[in-house]
Amino acid sequence: MSELNEVFGVNPNQVLSYIERDKIDTKFTDALNTGNHIVVYGASKQGKTALVSRHLPYEENIVVRLTPNTNISDIYSSILRQIGVEIEVTKQNEEASTASATVGIKAKATIWLFGEGEASASGSIGTAKKELNTYKTIPFNLAVAQDISELLHEINFNKKVILENFHYLDEEKQRELSFDLRTFQETGIIFVILGVWRKKDKLRAYCPDLTDRVNDVPVEPWIEDDFRRVIDKGSRELNISISESIVAKFLENSFGSIGVLQELVKACCKFADINQTHIGNVYHLVDSTFSDRALEEKCDEYRESHQQALELLASGNVSHSKGKQKAPLHLPYYLVKVIAQKGYDGIVGGLSRSEITDGIKAMHHRPEDVRPGDISNLLHNISNLQFKKRLNPPLIDYDQGKRLLFAIDSTFFYFLKNSNLVEFEEELPSPLE
């Protein structure tokens, strides 16, 4: 007997409809044996956590879930705390809490010893043997990767460190951690990093020395056969069958997002009162009323959240033209208007810089003042702008190499395809008023 929430939907725990994909799952399992860090990336809700937890049990390794407020020292402190190292912070520099801090945090670590003066060989320090009262204290710097690595080797650390939501860190913290990762790789401490972006080599862009030290594993693309296998597997768990017309409708409206598909199927089952494994003969789900209600529910949900996100993005940071006496250019506002005008068809394959520039100039209140450098600053800083606006996960990302703006929130396509974008653009608050 399985509950609906265990079978379909976006769930922090792996759902029973999970399927292995030869190219993706094999690439990840092969990477586990390389001695390199692993970066698992793709749009939001595309199965990054499901992939990692499938082959690298979270309960057997170290997991740190990042937030916008996480500092690098917080990450290292969490790792040590989870394996039982007792930390006493003795001195903290006033600047240590900032992303650019390099002086770090002086601390003392208590390492518990067992047997012949050796630390736990399991990579963690349990409490059961602490009555032996054998330990040593080691001074170290909580912000220095080399010190952290040495501490981990003191206890024969043999786990992997999983960092969830790497995209929540601001760019400077991402860059700082990327440099630290070289030290960890050289000393055999392996990190698995999950993040929302679509560009390969993100970490190597921050630290070129990570070349040949990182394996990138994209979770996209999902193909139709994958989606059908997910639906079939979940349906067997629930002892149901879903009509081809409903399946086709969900495939059309998932836009390549496994998260959207999972949520649509889950909602459809909910409306059909299928909340757990059906008892008796196979239940045939054929009534399109349930699928239509599921589509409507998700449309309303995604519309509300993405409208708010786009309004926040449009309010942006004030940017001034060369003539300081003139009003701000308000380029984020115009970028959002371009996205609304282009819609799903315009952004699904990436929106080019030239299209963005032409679109902004065509409607801008001072088109003659919009310079190429202004557009560059807008696009190159779009990730930081979303971070400052607390849009996590981000909606869009700019690939400087390809000069394309991509949607990276998988539900954003659903919003663009199923919303009245003309009405949205008309109602978008103008910073000029």
- Using an 8 Å Cβ cutoff, are 352 and 403 in contact? yes
Domain boundary among 241, 270, 299: 299
CATH of the domain at 208: 3.40.50.300
Asked if 42 and 178 sit in the same domain, the reply is yes
Residue 71 or residue 199, greater confidence: 71
CATH of the domain at 262: 1.10.8
pLDDT at 120: 52
Is the pLDDT at 244 greater than 50, yes or no? yes
pLDDT at 96: 44
Q: CA nearest 339: which of 316, 314, 375? A: 314
Question: Which residue range(s) make up the domain with 288?
Answer: 222-299
Asked if 197 and 289 sit in the same domain, the reply is no
Is the pLDDT at 116 greater than 60, yes or no? no
Q: Specify the range with the lowest mean pLDDT, choosing from 206-210, 318-322, 407-411.
A: 318-322
Residue 142 or residue 159, greater confidence: 159
Averaged over 285-302, what is the pLDDT? Answer: 94
pLDDT bucket at 106, cuts 50 / 70 / 90 = confident
Q: Is residue 3 part of a domain?
A: no
Asked if 188 and 284 sit in the same domain, the reply is no
pLDDT at 374: 95
3-state secondary structure at position 52: helix
Asked if 142 and 242 sit in the same domain, the reply is no
Q: Is residue 263 part of a domain?
A: yes
pLDDT bucket at 124, cuts 50 / 70 / 90 = low
DSSP state of 430: P
In whole angstroms, give the CA distance from residue 306 to residue 303: 5
Q: Is residue 8 part of a domain?
A: no
pLDDT bucket at 399, cuts 50 / 70 / 90 = confident
Asked if 212 and 76 sit in the same domain, the reply is yes
Asked if 231 and 167 sit in the same domain, the reply is no
Asked if 293 and 329 sit in the same domain, the reply is no
Q: Virtual CA dihedral for 54, 60, 62, 67, nearest 10 degrees?
A: 50
Domain boundary among 235, 268, 299: 299
Q: How far apart are the first and last CA of the chain?
A: 58
pTM of the model: 0.83
Q: Specify the range with the lowest mean pLDDT, choosing from 174-188, 262-276, 377-391.
A: 377-391
Which helix (H) or strand (E) segment holds residue 231: the answer is: helix 224-238
Domain boundary among 190, 218, 246: 218
Q: What does the pLDDT look like over 282-291, one tens digit per residue?
A: 999 999 999 9
Averaged over 63-84, what is the pLDDT? Answer: 92
Asked if 55 and 77 sit in the same domain, the reply is yes
Q: Is residue 1 part of a domain?
A: no
Taking 3-state DSSP, the helix, strand and coil percentages for the chain, each rounded to the nearest 5, stand at 45, 15, 35
Which helix (H) or strand (E) segment holds residue 48: the answer is: helix 48-55
pLDDT at 104: 60
Q: How many domains does the chain have?
A: 3
Is the pLDDT at 281 greater than 50, yes or no? yes
Average pLDDT over the chain reads 88
Asked, as a colleague might, if the bond just before 393 is cis with ω within 30 of 0, I would say: yes
Asked if 32 and 109 sit in the same domain, the reply is yes
Q: Is residue 212 part of a domain?
A: yes
Asked if 172 and 253 sit in the same domain, the reply is no
Asked if 277 and 206 sit in the same domain, the reply is no
Asked if 313 and 393 sit in the same domain, the reply is yes
